[in-house]
Amino acid sequence: MKLEDPLRKNLGELRLTGDRLLESLPPVDRFFRQLLGTAVDGERLLAGIVWMVGQEGRLQAYCDEGLKNISPDGKLTVGPNELQQLSGALQEGKVVVLNGQATIDSGQRPRVIGPIQSGGKSVGGVELFFDSDQLPGGHRDLLHFVEEWCGYGAKYLDQQRLATQQPKDPTGFWEKFERFTLELQRSLNVREVSGIAVNDGRIIIGCDRLSLVLKEGKRIKVRGISGQDDVEHRANLVNSMRNVAKQVIRVGEPLVYRGAIEGIPPQLEKPLSTFLQESRSRMALFLPLLPKDEIPHKEEKDPHTPVRKKKVKPIGCLVVEQFSESRPLPVLRERSDLVADHVAASLYNARRHQEIFLLWLWVAIGRFFGWFRGRNLLITLAVIAGIAVAGTALAFVPWDYRVEGIGKTMPVVQHSVFAPWDGDVYEVLVESGQEVKQGQPLVQLVSDELRAQLVTAQNEVAEKEKVYNTIKYQIDSALNRGSKEEIARYRVEELRTEIEVNAAKEKVSVLQDRIEKLTVLSPIDGIVATFKLKEKLQNRPVRRAEVLLEVMDDKGDWQLELEVPEYRMGHMLKALEQSEDGTLPIEYVLATAVETSYDAKVAKIATRTNESEEEGTIVEVYADIDANTLPSRRIGAEVEAKINCGKRSLGYVLFGDVIEFVQRHFWL
């Protein structure tokens, strides 16, 4: 068995133990004993000793582990030569392997020595004894293992030293944090709050990058990344970050990555690995943003009755990253939690503020009434006049009532190409988006079943013709003999055989025609509209009547294919009855160019309803358009359309949904 395998296993255990100890910061004695116990496995690494430099600069044994594996009584006896070797190795400041003799009672073992440095100098070291018979020729993995062990010891001593030191500027952080919280509260705009949270919050926390992910309905979106004015939502980094944050928000628990994937929940391993590959982060912290519980307005009758707290769902996630260090910097977690609490509260308030219906109107009304403060009579008259004017306008001012629908631009002439017979796709002869002519070969199919049937039918024809020729010969012989009975009998057999031959030939003809139709031809002149055609069809089996591809005439007429909610159809049908030409005007915009609107007319309405994932029950509406006005003829381009259904009162146009809701639920 090789040394590398157990050493790598021990290295993983060492990292888990070291990270756990660095988080809890136990006393020095317990830290080094547990860390040394993780390193010594009793097989290859037999024993270990931690040395510390005393007050007089002399090395002293601080703790040991596994001495019984190399000494019968487990006692430590160190000679002057060995102490000199230890001191020299630690002064060099690097890990060395000594194959000389180390005396522990009467035992003699090779050993590896690594320095523990703090404040730029060696303050101690670790000495690990290994079995020379089990050690392979190279020491690379052994040196790496000892370097990792010494690294954890150095980090622990540095953290202990920093914890005992007084900060140079004890008020500096809180001054920055106070300015940060004031900036968060200055705005009730979600976008502005997000920008302040990631850019100023990164400075407060002291990380390399800070990102903000928000839950908006059922969608998860990255709303801010420190150092970036805008977020490119299609970027691989943004998509991978959103996938990890989605799981963290769903669970509601923080996620910490410190350079090792061990301990990460299984459902997060794949998205987290993808995110780390894109971000190159060595430490990542995902903190769910939880808004605070609301304060109850009424006291409980029984003060001893426990209050049931409703579980607060996260509104987003804060992503803290470090690029150069896998261990979180000191106080990073505490500062991250502090920033996350204030960011969550500010975002929660900003989102509730922006969700107010007709916010701009209420702000304008508030400013208007603010001008009347202290003028009670004027306020009363103005309110009465305003209500009267608003009510009159809502009741009598006519306005265009428009029904909204979503859809896409499509050619009028569309043909689906079907498989003529069961078979396999041998070759796809066209590309996606290629222009084709009527009768042009599109797909070549092959059918082993048809070919086998054709061979069987051809053999049957040959056999029947052979029988037919034999009967003809027998008729000629009977004519020479003058036997009328044989001639009559052979004539009957000749007629029957001739019918069978013709039937077999007809079967061959039908099979040949079917095989010829395995070369699928284009039904019209147009363009191949199916995307990634070869990837979908090449070398795959197909069934008869299965759709292979679509060919559309992009040079001809175009139309809008809209989906209109069923509960809106009453307005459309009523407007169509009142229309003189039987059409309704439509104004629509393309999703890729919303700054320009185009006109169309309703041409046809489906006679049945369908189901849509977004809108529920819908009715398909078709509208004629002038394709020459479009910037580009792109099949399936998304559009948003508004169908003009005539004049209604302004109040119904603005509050029609509320009126219909009341009518629908309280009509009794």
The CATH code that applies to domain 556-665 is: 2.40.30.170
Q: How many CB atoms lie within 10 A of CB 663?
A: 9
Angle between helices 28-39 and 140-164 (to 10 degrees): 170
Report d(CA 270, CA 247) in Å as an integer. 12
In this predicted structure, the answer to whether residue 203 has a pLDDT above a threshold of 80 is yes
pLDDT at 505: 87
| 120 φψ region: left (φ > 0), alpha (ψ -120 to 50), beta (else) | left
**Helix pair 650-665, 376-396: axis angle to 10 deg:** 80
List Cβ neighbours of 637 (8 Å cut-off, separation of 6 or more): 408, 409, 590, 591, 592
What are 352-391's pLDDT values in tens digits? 888 888 877 888 888 777 766 666 667 778 788 989 998 8
% of the chain surpassing 90 pLDDT:
14
Token readout for 167 is 């900060």
pLDDT at 211: 94
Under 8 Å between Cβ of 296 and 327? no
Query: Is the confidence at residue 298, as pLDDT, over 50?
Result: no
Band of residue 163 on the pLDDT scale cut at 50, 70, 90: low
- Per-residue pLDDT at 5: 54
Whether 581 has a pLDDT exceeding 50, the answer reads yes
Nearest to 265, CA basis, from 286, 279, 240: 286
Kindly state the DSSP code that residue 68 receives in the 8-state scheme: G
558-565 and 616-625 strand pairing? antiparallel
State the Cα angle at 289 between 283 and 293, rounded to 5°. Answer: 150
Among residues 419, 417, 421, 438, which one has the least CA distance to residue 530?
A: 417
The domains spanning 4-164 and 172-292+312-354 adopt the same CATH topology: yes
β pairing state of 121-130 and 637-649: unpaired
Q: How large a percentage of the chain has pLDDT more than 70?
A: 89
Q: What is the CA angle 315-321-323, rounded to 5? A: 165
Strand, helix or coil for residue 602 = strand
Q: Please name every residue paired with 322 in a beta bridge, in sequence order, or none if there are none.
A: 283
pLDDT in tens, 497-544: 888 888 888 988 888 888 888 889 999 999 998 888 888 888 889 898
Judge whether residue 212 has pLDDT over 90.
Answer: yes
Strand 441-446 relative to strand 558-565, pairing: unpaired
**pLDDT at residue 301, as a whole number:** 46
pLDDT bucket at 577, cuts 50 / 70 / 90:
confident
Residue 125: both structure tokens together: 């070291």
Question: Torsions phi, psi of 662, nearest 5?
Answer: -65, -45
> DSSP of 92-156, one letter per residue?
HTS-EEE-S--EETTEE--EEEEEEEETTEEEEEEEEEE-TTT--S--HHHHHHHHHHHHHHHHH
Does residue 284 surpass a pLDDT of 50? yes
Confidence label for 576 from pLDDT (cuts 50, 70 and 90)? confident
Q: Express each pLDDT in 83-102 by its tens digit.
A: 777 787 787 778 887 765 44
Distances (CA, A) of 224 to 185, 190, 201, 235, 369: 17, 11, 11, 13, 37
DSSP string, 283-348: EEEEEEE-PPPPPPSS--SSTTSPPPPPPPPP-EEEEEEESS-SSPPTTHHHHHHHHHHHHHHHHH
CATH number of 4-164: 3.30.450.40
SS (H, E, C) 475-505: HHHHHHHCCHHHHHHHHHHHHHHHHHHHHHH
Asked if 136 and 5 touch (Cβ cutoff 8 Å), the reply is: no
Tokens read off for 549: 């591809």
| Annotation: CATH topology of 172-292+312-354 | Beta-Lactamase (3.30.450)
Model pLDDT, residue 384: 86
- Residue 397 in this model has a pLDDT that exceeds 60: yes
**Closest among 38, 34, 13 to 25, alpha carbons compared:** 34
Domain definitions of the chain by residue range:
4-164, 172-292+312-354, 360-394, 416-548, 556-665
Between vectors from CA 396 to CA 393 and to CA 402, what angle results, nearest 5°? 90
Which residues are 416's β-sheet partners? 550
pLDDT value of position 299: 45
DSSP string, 534-592: HHHHTT-EE-TT-EEEEEE-TTS-EEEEEEEEGGGHHHHHHHHHH-SSS--EEEEEETT
Tell me, what's the pLDDT at 294? 47
Mean pLDDT, residues 57-83 taken together: 77
Helix (H, G, I), strand (E, B) or coil at 63: strand
Question: Are the CB atoms for 642 and 587 separated by under 8 Å?
Answer: yes
Type of residue found at 377: L
pLDDT on residue 381: 80
Contact by Cβ (8 Å): 565, 615? yes
Count other Cβ atoms within 10 Å, centred on residue 482. Answer: 8
Kindly report which listed range (42-46, 111-115, 243-247) carries the lowest average pLDDT score. Answer: 42-46
Burial of 489 (0-12, 13-18, 19+ CB in 10 A): middle
Mean of all residue pLDDT scores within the chain:
82
pLDDT tens by residue, 621-662: 999 888 888 888 888 889 999 998 888 888 888 888 888 888
Average pLDDT over every residue of 594-602: 89
As a whole number of angstroms, the distance between CA 311 and CA 297 comes to: 18
